[in-house]
Amino acid sequence: MNLLRKLLFPFSLLYGGITALRNWLYNKGLLKSKAYTLPVICVGNLSTGGTGKSPMIELLISFLKDDYKIAVLSRGYKRKTTGYRAVLLKSSVEEVGDEPLQFKTKFPEITVAVCEDRQTGIEKLQKTAEVILLDDAFQHRKVKASLNILLTSFDKLYSNDCMLPTGNLREPKFGANRAQIIVVTKCPENIDNSKMEAIKRKLKPQSYQEVYFSKIGYSSQIMNETEVKPLEYLRSKKFLLVTGIANPKPLIHFLEQEGLHFETKSFPDHHNFSASEMEQLGEHKLILTTEKDYMRLQALTNKTEIYFLPIKTVILNGAESLFKNEVVTEAKLK
């Protein structure tokens, strides 16, 4: 913890007190949460930064879409529009945000929408959807989800963190009690059972909570709008890795383990690339990026060979079937 964050500790106490009071008012019914007749599954976290919400949403879509009419609702972080907006294949990042556009591009058959007011969004979507997935809405207490899935990163457990601005928590740790499922994300390949048990003890789950562990699964292929190539294509080439995600280290580590040779240029999460930055990136012949960043960078394809590396959430310990069954049961899906 750096000195500035330590100096801001009194503000952490104040912020923690305000958010704790807000949650208490909701828990006591003094502030109202609205429940819905159709299943609403919320994926979120307690902290700022990337915990793998988008890959988790995509995992849920992948095993629910064949049996239910799925709708995904996001606030559309950093979009330049307001209010409710349906995400179309022809939508731009500026209109709907990068992650909602990624969902729609990857799963064109489902409904995706953005709205900062989740109640408004749900009321519009429930006319046609059978299940609604809420992306990053754990703190949106105006909606009472059927199922809350809480994510926490392996190397940044919420149990080891403290409130903003000293730490990264958006609400006190006991907010985790609202979740029915907790998933420890971005685990290393070689994590063993003893380490998992130690993490469970740190998280101190309630009796009604199940804890799962997951890792990032990297594809063996790279792709863009028109091409799919094996990752091997990059082995004999030098390329630029461009990332605008919270933590690019696991991706960098994976590519290094694959024996690839590349330079790295990292930007903040959900970075809006300026015209000058796009011009500089366009000077490179070959770029690899993340799926989310590709939504912003695909304009470079006229001048630069650019690909993204797909990822997915992989539930560890052979527990994927248990995880899926619990989602269906807890969300009361028919």
CA dihedral 11, 169, 193, 59 (to 10 degrees): -170
User: Contact at 8 Å (CB) between 302 and 232?
Assistant: no
DSSP-derived pairing of the beta strands 228-230 and 311-315? unpaired
Peptide bond preceding 250 in cis form (omega within 30 of 0): no
Q: What is the pLDDT, as a whole number, of residue 1?
A: 53
Q: What is the pLDDT, as a whole number, of residue 50?
A: 84
φ/ψ of residue 260, rounded to 5 = -90, 150
Q: What is the pLDDT, as a whole number, of residue 286?
A: 96
Rounded-to-integer distance, Cα 160 and Cα 327, Å: 27
Instruction: List b or e across 272-309, with b for residues whose CB sees 16 or more CB atoms inside 10 angstroms.
Output: ebeeeeeeebbebeebbbbbbbbbbbbebbeebbbbbb
Q: What is the pLDDT, as a whole number, of residue 334?
A: 72
Q: What is the pLDDT, as a whole number, of residue 253?
A: 94
pLDDT of the chain along its 334 residues, tens only?
577 777 888 889 999 999 999 999 999 999 999 999 999 999 999 998 789 999 999 999 999 999 999 999 999 999 999 999 999 999 999 999 999 999 999 999 999 999 999 999 999 999 999 999 999 999 999 999 999 999 999 999 999 999 999 999 999 999 999 999 999 999 998 899 999 999 999 999 999 999 999 999 999 999 999 999 999 999 989 999 999 998 899 999 999 999 999 999 999 998 989 999 999 999 999 999 999 999 999 888 778 999 999 999 999 999 999 999 999 999 999 7
pTM to 2 decimals?
0.95
Q: What is the pLDDT, as a whole number, of residue 155?
A: 93
- Catalogue all structural domains in the chain, each as residue range(s) with its CATH number: 3-217+315-330 (3.40.50.300), 220-309 (3.40.50)
CA dihedral 158, 162, 166, 168 (to 10 degrees): 20
Q: What is the pLDDT, as a whole number, of residue 29?
A: 95
Interaxial angle between packed helices 53-64 and 98-106, expressed in degrees from 0 to 180 and rounded to the nearest 10:
30
Q: What is the pLDDT, as a whole number, of residue 98?
A: 95
